[in-house]
């Protein structure tokens, strides 16, 4: 992959992380994290996977330039 491709993918993950975190905050503010726990946990899983994947791509990119 090129550095530009890495940057683009990392930026996409960043957007997904921001949007997912915002949705989690809306769940929490409305109490839906308790009343719709299964759905909240699904959103949390998406958030956690995006953070992990972004980290993996960042480390791969750093390996490329090292």
pLDDT in tens, the chain (66 residues): 999 999 999 999 999 999 999 999 999 999 999 999 999 999 999 999 999 999 999 999 999 988
Q: Which range of residues forms the domain containing residue 35?
A: 3-65
**Contact of 17 with 10, CB cutoff 8 Å:** no
Query: For position 18, what pLDDT does the model report?
Result: 98
Q: Measured between alpha carbons, how far is residue 42 from residues 21, 23, 52, 61 in Å?
A: 12, 11, 15, 28
Query: For position 66, what pLDDT does the model report?
Result: 84
State pTM to two decimals: 0.92
Alpha helices in 1-66 (DSSP H): 3-30, 32-35, 37-65
Alpha-carbon torsion (36, 37, 40, 46), positive or negative = negative
Q: How many domains does the chain have?
A: 1
């Amino acid at each position: 992959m090129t550095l530009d491709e890495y940057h683009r993918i990392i930026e996409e993950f960043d957007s997904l992380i921001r949007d997912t975190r915002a949705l989690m905050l809306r769940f929490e503010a409305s109490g839906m994290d308790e009343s719709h726990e299964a759905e909240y946990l699904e959103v949390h899983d998406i958030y956690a996977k995006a953070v992990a994947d972004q980290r993996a791509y960042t480390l791969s990119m750093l390996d490329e330039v090292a």
